[in-house]
């Protein structure tokens, strides 16, 4: 992965969103098996593949930090909480 997005960040971002490998593969326009290989460190993704995966995760609200941290934008969380509260009614 790039100097700023590690395989651990990729796995964490996918987990935070509750996405399966298939969901990320569709969003990033890559094969599902490629996600597994990248996350396990078996292959180094091509630059275009990495860019598509990172773009898909960012579009879903993921924020990657240079210090190795990964998170979800607060406004996305607030929206999710609002939707959850409405669904509970």
Q: Which residues contact 8 (CB under 8 A, 6 or more apart)?
A: 68
Percent of the chain with pLDDT over 90: 54
Q: How far apart are CA 45 and CA 82, in angstroms?
A: 36
Phi-psi group of 39: left, alpha or beta (phi > 0 → left; psi -120 to 50 → alpha; rest → beta)? alpha
Which fold is adopted by the domain 7-88? 434 Repressor (Amino-terminal Domain) (1.10.260)
pLDDT, residue 26, reads 96
Task: Give every residue of the chain whose pLDDT is below 50, as ranges.
Answer: 77-88
């Amino acid at each position: 992965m790039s100097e700023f997005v590690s395989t651990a960040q990729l796995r964490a971002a996918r987990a935070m969103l509750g996405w399966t490998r298939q969901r990320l593969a569709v969003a990033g326009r890559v094969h599902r098996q490629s996600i597994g290989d990248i996350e396990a460190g078996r292959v180094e993704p091509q630059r275009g593949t990495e860019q598509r995966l990172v773009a898909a995760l960012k579009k879903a609200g993921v924020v990657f930090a240079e210090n190795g941290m990964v998170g979800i934008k607060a406004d996305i969380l607030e929206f999710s909480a609002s939707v959850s509260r409405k669904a509970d009614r």
